[in-house]
Structure 1
């Protein structure tokens, strides 16, 4: 029986979830613009209202005026049609790395979602062009740097606008190519933007929101992985599993913290009585792990609300009400909520890197690891003298952690006055989102190293203690890690192992809790 095709992500003005954007970004589900007549009629009414307003000499910011501080400049009627193309032309000054294909698909999906709300005055033809880009996986080359997060992500989104019109460059089929060549090959007609459409594409929060969707998903998985790693480290260090007692955590009832403690109880099968030789109290990085990971677990639902509200909002300016036929001038391009969400997320995630770094420092040190060999080296006999185990890995983990902690300075407090003091208070949301992704990347590297340490530490503890028993979840994951990573008995480079484990983390290779 042939596999069923995945359900498409429908763009019809109804709310999307973070998971919808991520599924599109990972090419797990296709995009589909709704064919519903009522939806299309709503989009059409906004564009038709703008046409009538233009015909009666209505004054509309960014349509019959210049942009930003140039809003006092009146555009001659004969030049109105050229204005949207000038907007993306002069904003083509992005620098820095290019967004990844996954990030770029998320940007396309996020901008399409906002325009599909039906308050941007765009045509269905514009939305159909977004759908074509996603369908054919034609991905604009978008420089990551150059946005202050209000008026929206102007510079990075100019690269989307230009590609919709057949200009600049794209990734297609894994190759960097001129957009015009790809469009000609696929018989896609370049758009000629209608009045307001350049502004509608660019004057919004699509880049920061797209990155936030991806960051939220990675952080959610990373928190669960850090919990599993903590369980391994408690066992490897012969720690006390009863620091996670249910009655204890009922006395401080943060829900996320309680979930982390419950997961640790399950992993450690800690309903059994403690062995007499167990220590009364472990060090904080083990004992207080639910209190650290629980912060992320508790903040994720709140951050989801901020991100999904932004995702499903009409966040450009001006807005066009197709029902009451009003043009509403405001500041919905402002990315303050995403900026705050990403500043908060990177703080919580960096604390997890720090927690795991401390756990590893205990595990490799014979003063604190309760009978394990130095640096978790599995070498025995005379060869133990020349082998160094995970010594360098622990140094690298400290480096990655330090860099993650350094990036926790909130970007949102660094507003700059730009554009002749028209944009005199800006969100820095895209910078915050990029920082959050970098903190996630560094923390994932820490987690990859900790997977090596978990595989090594459990094997060495089992060698020292024949009574060691793993719960079914830990036994299954340990067996998987042993298939992925050879025991480090003789010194070897670990970069290849780290690379494979990083890929597995980002593919969410392990099923971690319900």
Structure 2
């Protein structure tokens, strides 16, 4: 099969090297971090100006035109879709067929994707079409790039995709917007797509025969959501590690549970990295023969074993998602060099579904870990001398104040909900579309579930972070306290720039929401990439 021109690789190398420059799309691979930067509005995209790239793209559409002239039959161009593939479309109706496709798929329901997620969807679909095997025109790529350049982003309902034949219903909203229909977010406001195009003197696009299928028959929505989920999960492993170190310090725990020789005996590399970070945070390079406390409870002692599962899964999750991101995943695909149209099932999102199902299970365990740490911190039977519920009130005011009592209840509720949502979506395949789509991936539902689980885990992390900073400071006030390790002391100081200590009881919802926003923004630089 003809591949994108190799000469365009240099543009991607330049893009990686130069901060602030647009990502040049040329058919070469991009990475998950590229999706994140575009989704968050920190970077623009541009199509390669290499003439060979444009020639490569247009050759697919030209081949289709020749094939139509020679044989007169191409699936989804001169036939109906799905189980209607045996139904011929009259020649005078061929140009209307793509419009019909996105029209009858306009049945999405539920909340709309966030603007960040919708931006990611546009980019992911564009990257796939840039592979040059989907039979689309270069003009279509220009229109997709224009949406990102102008930040005119389609309003895409979350619900309605079974993940094969791709994300048909949600992607119909992308196709419709290009054609001046449905709604967009433009400058922060929801408005008709037709108005946004007219304001910029751009006429609605007219989809060419294969372009409706090429836009809609793929995995762009689930892959975009998965890329955002991956980034949030990766940051949570670091944050959970730092919170665990704070918990050990606040609980006057045993910092030697993370000994390097101990972890050499069970050599999972991600687990070893977590233990090394905890050693560094706690200034515990090696274990003395007799530790001051022999064994802490599992929620601190076994933290590397819980967080390490996520750390060790991240590389293969990245591989699965990066391959999907850089794949051609519509149907049929066009091999110009071999002169054939290939019918298959690359729209099936099984790899994304598997990543998201496993990610949400592993990440929910982070919430469970932190919730157990918080339960120890607030309980005067187990927190080794700290005030009940970590109250910072004076002795005379302690009977009236309840500290983190309600916060721990909330964290337990969020944890329970996260754990409840870990049922794998991929096992709930349903036969749809007159049994043509009789085995489907449920990848988009899995990705949406994963994002909800991540939100809940972030809430638990915010609650436990708030409490552990309080615990470290309360521990510091005790006469028998060991000094707070420098790295942890500096981190608590950074957190204190955002939230105040809890002395007299106050409503903490604003604090917790603020911490959640900071977590989503990856506000604190926690550990080196190593």
Shift, 1:380, TM fit: 1.9
1:75 paired residue number:
89
**1:414 is matched with which residue?**
428
Listed as ranges, the gaps of 5+ residues in structure 2 are: 1-17
Contact between 2:476 and 2:482, CA under 8 Å: does it hold in 1?
yes
Of 332, 336, 342, which residue of structure 2 is paired with 1:318?
A: 332
2:216 to 199, 202, 220: 202
Name 2:403's counterpart in structure 1: 389
| Matched position secondary structure for 1:327 | strand
Is the CA contact 2:256–2:286 (under 8 Å) kept in the aligned structure 1? no
Contact 1:42–1:322 (8 Å) recurs in 2 = no
Matched-pair contact (CA < 8 Å) for 1:10–1:33: yes
2:28 to 8, 14, 21: 14
Contact map agreement 2:260 2:286 (CA 8 A) in 1 = no
Query: Residue by residue, what CA displacement relative to the aligned partner does 1:203-247 show, whole Å, maximum 9, x if unpaired?
Result: 000000000000000000000000000000000000000000000
Q: Does 1:103 align with 2:117?
A: yes
Equivalent position of 2:200 in the other structure? 186
Aligned counterpart in structure 2 of residue 401 of structure 1, from 394, 398, 415: 415
Q: CA deviation at 1:188?
A: 1.8
2:477 is aligned, of 446, 463, 472, to 463
- What per-residue deviation string (whole Å, max 9, x for no partner) do you get for residues 242-277 of structure 1? 000000000000000000000000000002666978
Alignment-derived partner of residue 341 in structure 1: 355
Q: Does 1:119 align with 2:133?
A: yes
2:506 and 2:327 map into 1 onto residues whose CA distance is 52
Is 2:256–2:284's contact at 8 Å kept on the other side of the alignment? yes
The offset of 1:325, in angstroms, is: 2.0
Residue 73 (structure 2) pairs with residue 59 (structure 1): yes
TM-score normalised by the chain length of structure 2: 0.95
Aligned to 2:3: none
Q: Deviations over 1:139-162 (max 9, x none)?
A: 100000000000000000000000
Between the aligned partners of 1:370 and 1:381, the Cα distance in structure 2 is: 18
The one of 286, 294, 298 aligned to 1:280: 294
Cα distance in 2 between the residues matched to 1:405 and 1:277: 35
Give yes or no for contact 2:24–2:48 (8 Å, CA) kept in 1.
yes
1:443 correspondence with 2:457: yes
Change (3 A) 1:275 1:186: farther
CA displacement, residues 52-73 of structure 1 (integer Å, 9 cap, x when unaligned): 1112233211111100111110
User: C-alpha separation between the residues in 2 aligned to 1:446 and 1:381?
Assistant: 29
Question: Aligned partners of 1:379, 1:49: CA distance in 2, in Å?
Answer: 76
Shift of 1:470: 2.6
Give the structure 2 partner of residue 271 of structure 1: 285
1:143 and 2:177 aligned: no
Tell me which residue corresponds to 1:497: 511
Aligned residues: 511
Q: Does the CA contact (< 8 Å) of 1:319 and 1:329 recur in 2? A: yes
Whole-angstrom CA distance in 1 between matches of 2:212 and 2:88: 17
Of 320-329 and 256-265, the range deviating more from structure 2? 320-329
TM-aligned CA distance change 1:24 to 1:375, over 3 Å: same
1:5 is displaced (CA, Å) by 6.4
Corresponding position: 1:134 with 2:134 = no
Per the alignment, residue 329 of structure 1 pairs with: 343
Measured after TM superposition, the shift of residue 465 of structure 1 is 3.9
Task: Answer yes or no: is 1:473 the counterpart of 2:506.
Answer: no
SS of equivalent to 2:267: coil
Is there any run of 5+ residues in structure 1 with no aligned partner, and where? none
The CA deviation string for residues 78-115 of structure 1, in whole angstroms up to 9 with x for no partner, is: 11110000000000000011000000000000000000
1:201 Cα shift?
Answer: 0.2
